[in-house]
Structure 1
């Protein structure tokens, strides 16, 4: 095994995946959301860099080829688990997350079954777009948690009548409730639609891999 810089970045990204969940165990919100967001975005950026550097420096290795998709899946699966676990369990988030998780497990099992012929299921451009869309959606959903909790902190001590008056414009918005609420709503809506788009791309790539694998799944005629 060659421990190249691209491989080191991949390993760091793999180790960072569980830290996204750990942030919510050791820090209060919204600080946990902030740390998870920064950690996730940083890991997503290294995903592009390690692939680019491996190709540019001709340092593509078997170790990197194996670990790169594992690190991507670990980041996505753990981040989705955290978002669903700390959200209101809205079905509009649970359904696309379920599609994504099911596909990742299914394709991983398919590759394991195919063994030496797993090279048939090479990563396609659509699969790369799928991963990009997943990571952007998750980052936006983490930012929704940030805005949501800053909104709650800003409204702390206000009764409902005061909050309503601020949103109605009859009381000065000294705490920035309106823009924080708008940012929360936009992040939640955009994040949800991006997650559905990611789920659609995820499903399409799963079907594509299944069709490519079908010739290897047929029993030989006796």
Structure 2
């Protein structure tokens, strides 16, 4: 078990703690859940850094890392929708982000199966989307109303970039999706 894989597993282990703390009936619960989410986000960066720097990339890590990322983001969005369900745009933005993750995960899996994984590699737009998304989630998880505008703007930006990056991924994959040998 490599250090990179241990960091990824740590992120998954933090999920139940993150959810339980979020729902604790204390004034500090949301702020602490934001800290737990932040630690998980740091492990996401750290496991990738460690895997590249120390040549610790493994098939298990390649599978588990995106699963851990998506679990954290989807669960954070679900928790936030429980607070902001009255904001239709917030629910739609959250659904767009979750829906895109499902579509792109399936697309990457299919592209890998047909030997075209590199066609749907992570782009700079995806990295910017992730940065905005993580910023929005951390800020909104604190549940500090003064910071809501920052979180809402970041989440809206992340949702727009989510759609844009999905279009770019689908456009890159489209010739492979339509090729006769893959039908």
Structure 1 equivalent of residue 120 of structure 2: 121
CA RMSD for the aligned pairs? 2.0
Structure 1 equivalent of residue 152 of structure 2: 192
Larger Rg: 1
Deviations along 1:11-39, one digit per CA (max 9) or x if unpaired, are: 111232343223234x1143320221111
Unaligned segments of structure 1, at least 5 residues: 148-183
Partner Cα distance (1:118, 1:69) in 2 = 18
Partner Cα distance (2:129, 2:9) in 1 = 21
Indicate conservation of the 8 Å contact 2:93/2:155, yes or no: yes
- Trace 1:1-80 onto structure 2 (pairs within 5 A): 3-25=1-23, 27-80=24-77
Partner Cα distance (1:19, 1:114) in 2 = 35
Q: 1:88 to 1:111 in 2, by over 3 A?
A: closer
Displacement over 4 Å in runs of 4+: none
1:115 CA drift (Å): 4.1
1:114 CA drift (Å): 3.1
Partner Cα distance (1:44, 1:61) in 2 = 20
Indicate conservation of the 8 Å contact 1:112/1:118, yes or no: no
Deviations along 1:172-219, one digit per CA (max 9) or x if unpaired, are: xxxxxxxxxxxx23x111100000111111111111111111112115
Structure 2 equivalent of residue 158 of structure 1: none
Partner Cα distance (1:204, 1:17) in 2 = 28
TM-score, normalised with respect to structure 1: 0.74
Partner Cα distance (2:55, 2:111) in 1 = 28
More RCO (CA 8 Å, sep 6+)? 1
Partner Cα distance (1:88, 1:63) in 2 = 36
Indicate conservation of the 8 Å contact 2:85/2:91, yes or no: no
Unaligned segments of structure 2, at least 5 residues: none
Indicate conservation of the 8 Å contact 1:18/1:78, yes or no: no
Task: Give the paired residue count.
Answer: 180
- Trace 1:163-174 onto structure 2 (pairs within 5 A): none
